[in-house]
Structures are given as C-alpha cells and as structure tokens.
Amino acid sequence: MADILLATINARYRHCAFGLRWLLANMGDLGPRTALVEFDLEKTPVEMAEALLAHRPRIVGLGVYVWNVEPTRHLVRLLKGLAPEVTLVLGGPEVSHDWEEQEIVHLADHLVTGEGEEAFPWLCRAILAGAPPPDRILHPPPPVLAELVQPYDLYDAEDIAHRILYLEASRGCPFQCGFCLSALDRRVRTLPLAAFLEQVENLLARGALRFKFVDRTFNLHTATACAILDFFLARLRPGLDLHFEVIPDRFPAALRERVAAFPPGVLQLEVGVQSFNPEVLAHIGRRQDPQLSEQNLRWLRGQTGAHLHADLIVGLPGEDWDSIAAGFDRLAALEPHEIQVGILKRLPGAPINRLIEPFGLVFDPVPPRAVLRSDRLDFMQMRRLARFARYWDLIGNSGRFPAIRRMILGRDSGFRRCMALSDWLFARTGRTHRIALARLQDLVAEGLISVLGEDPEEVRACSAADRNQGGGESRQARHRTAGC
C-alpha cells in the first residue's frame, strides 16, 4: 500500500522510467509513502488500473510521453470512473506544452509542466493536507540540479541485471532544432561531475554494465565529455555497453583520442545527422557543418571501434525526394553500422509548429503525429518513404541481413534500389509489420533477383550466408525508445 504512486507506461520492459526515479528520489519525507509502478505497452489499461488501485492510493502521478499518451488517456478515464476520490497528477514532455488542447489534461486533476522534482512533492503535501492549490496547472521553474538527490540508488538488482540504465550528466541543449523539444531550453545545466561519477561508480560496483546517457548533446563540452570517457576507460570490463547521443561536427583531437581508446563493442554513438542539405538545416535552425560531419563520420568508422548509429529525418521543411535520396546515399557511403530513417514528428510545443504553414506541412493528428505531406512531398510519396524506413529497419538495421545489405548498397544508388525493393515488398505483402523472418528472407531474395536484376547465384549465396550467421537484434534496437 502507498499513499502516492508514481507510474508510467514504458515502451518496453527493458527501458526504465528515469524521470519518475528522479521524482521518487526527491520526495523527501514523503518517500516512505510513495511507490513506483512501471508498465509497458504489453499491458492493457484495465490491467494497469487494477494494479494501481490495488495500492489504494490517494494520489497517482502519471508520466506522459509521445509513445504512451493514448493508453495513458484510456487509463486516466478508467481511474476517474472507478476511483474519483484519487487525485490524478500528470507530467512529462507530452503534456508540458500545448496542454490546453489535450483531452488527457482536462480529465486529470493537476498538471506539472517541465521538471517536477520540487513541484510534485510540494503539490502532494498540499493535497494530502486537504489544501490543493487553486490552479490545476503548475509551471515550476527548473530546479537547481546540484540541490537534487540523484536517483541512481533506486535502480534495483533486477534493473541492473535485465534493463538499460539511464544516466544524465546535463540537461538542456544550446541548439534550436525545430523538431526537438530541447530547443525550448537553450540553457545547458550540468550536474556536479564528481558526485555524478560517484553514483556511476556505485552502479558499476553493483554489477551494472548497460548505460544510456540521455544528455541531448554529449560532446557539447569537450572537457566534460573527456572526463566521463576517462572514467569509463579506467573501468573497462567485459559486457560494458555505453550509449551517447552526439552531434557529428564536434570531435576535436582530445575527444577523438578518448573515443579511439575504447575497444570495439563498448561505445555506441547515436549521431544526429538529420540532413546533409544546408538549406534544410537552416530551415530547422540546426547549426551543423555537413562537410565536417562527413569527415568525422569517416574517421569514426575507420579509426575507432565505436558502433555508429546515424540518424536521418524524412519530411523536413524544404527537403524533396532527390535531396532525401542524395542524403541517404551520402551517409550510406560512410558505412555507419546503422542508418535510422526517421519520419518527422510534431511534438507539442516544438518550434517546427511555426513552419507548418510556410512549408505546407500536414501531420497526423494522432500521436506520434508523423508528417503526412509537405509542399515538396505529397501524401503518396510520404507513404512510400514511411514504408522504406520500416523495410530498411528490417533489412538494413536489424543485423540479420549483412550480406544482402552490402549488395543493396554496393551498386548505383542504394536509396533508389532499396526504394524499388520496398515498393515491391509492399505490393507482394500489403504489410510492413508481422512478417516472419524466414518469409522476409525469401521475399528479399526474390526481390533482389526480380526487381533489382541481381545474379540468382550471388543472391542465394548472400542469403545463405545471412541465414547461417544468425544475426540477432541490433544494438540500437536494444536501446531504442519508441517514438523518440
């Protein structure tokens, strides 16, 4: 039993509710009266309501994200109908902006926008004292990070054994990329580095090995990034798995030296390329040097053991079909281990909303609000690109088709060849999900021969090599958070 429940729906079991752990760590005297309850998308809202109400809570705080807003809305409706006496408090990025338009906010009792480590405990004390604030919506200022209790002791033995552990050395981002909510907070605030690394040391001592840094730009400050990498270099051990999000045009010599020192299999760098088109980058406010990005990616691929996951975004303002094709082929030539082709999403409050009318953007009104059309790409083209992204994920990023991947990318334009294969696969199957691996392998082999004109013997040899190598799930798929 607990008076206060902190709950959310994670994309997958292996992902931990990092934001709620920050709240729980800072509940102060209310900590013993507070419990954390995590679900994933496999649970139904009815099952979640049962689990929550079994605690007989007085307050339920729900973390709302782009990947869980629909089931969370269902859950809120259920809780208000079954237990109207329970106070429901919402928080999280999905409801922190444009909240006036969101039904889920009107269904709940309170909303805490932004960072809630100080505001949520204050609100809970007021509610438990029978004196809730008259304003349903709280807009607290960002807390001073040095004054917060860090949450890492709340990772338990099961988390350490089976889940990805999130770490955070900074908040905010100095860039103004139109598609990203971090563009709204240009102040980069860092946690005290010594105290942070002490917490990580404790996690390592407890056997933790899989860490994902949520810092929006890990390589923003070279000295801090080098200090963190030095910390892990001094503590290398089998199974250590580190994930960092980086910008591609910021790798000075000191940072290169550290990255190159890691053995293969330890570092994964999520490299936000997004586009090679300078005009498009200017439209979205992304300050990035495409030439330097290309040079750094080539160096990272050739001179380090880092696993490179490079991101492109389809549907950006001002980008047409030919620009997308050229960007994909330019990136593919650099041979990152994975190329994530993401579809532009409209996040509540993100600056991209100011570009909707000038660039004819039309978004799906249902989360994750993917773009459906622009003034450069019609609806049918966007649907083809969305299928391309999905099939490329299955074939090019899954780790199960390495020989076939090389065949697709090794001749002419990899984009156009993969698009032709994508169109054919959809015509044959009518689906992009729930295709059995054995059937997908057969279909891809058939398509390479009949659509791309590849030599049947060579295709059969590549297909057999892929089947025999038994490739498992890619590293990025293990880290990926749905909708992000």
- 411 has pLDDT over 90: no
Burial of 237 (0-12, 13-18, 19+ CB in 10 A): exposed
pLDDT at 469: 85
What residues have CB less than 8 Å from 170, skipping those under 6 apart?
A: 188, 189, 190, 191, 215, 216, 220, 221, 224
What residues have CB less than 8 Å from 88, skipping those under 6 apart?
A: 59, 60, 62, 76, 79, 80, 107, 108, 109, 110
What residues have CB less than 8 Å from 185, skipping those under 6 apart?
A: 142, 171, 172, 173
Distances from the Cα of 415 to the Cα of 151, 217, 323, 326, angstroms = 44, 28, 11, 8
- 481 has pLDDT over 50: no
pLDDT at 482: 35
Mean pLDDT of 293-319: 98
The CATH T-level fold of domain 155-377 is pyruvate-formate lyase- activating enzyme (3.80.30)
- 266 has pLDDT over 60: yes
pLDDT one-digit tens code per residue, 198-217: 999 999 999 999 999 999 99
Pairing of strands 371-373, 34-40: unpaired
Token duo for residue 112 = 């805490």
**Percentage, residues of the chain above pLDDT 70:** 97
pTM of the model: 0.93
pLDDT at 472: 52
Lowest mean pLDDT among 131-140, 367-376, 403-412: 403-412
169 close to 190: Cβ distance less than 8 angstroms: yes
Mean pLDDT of 387-401: 97
pLDDT at 473: 52
33 close to 65: Cβ distance less than 8 angstroms: no
User: What single-letter DSSP state applies at residue 370?
Assistant: B
Confidence of residue 464 (pLDDT cuts 50, 70, 90): very high
Assign domain 4-145 to its CATH superfamily: Cobalamin-binding domain (3.40.50.280)
pLDDT one-digit tens code per residue, 144-183: 999 999 999 999 999 999 999 999 999 998 888 888 888 7
- List the domain boundaries for the chain: 4-145, 155-377, 396-484
User: Which residue matches tokens 């770490």?
Assistant: 167
Distances from the Cα of 375 to the Cα of 91, 356, 363, 371, 380, angstroms = 35, 10, 13, 12, 13
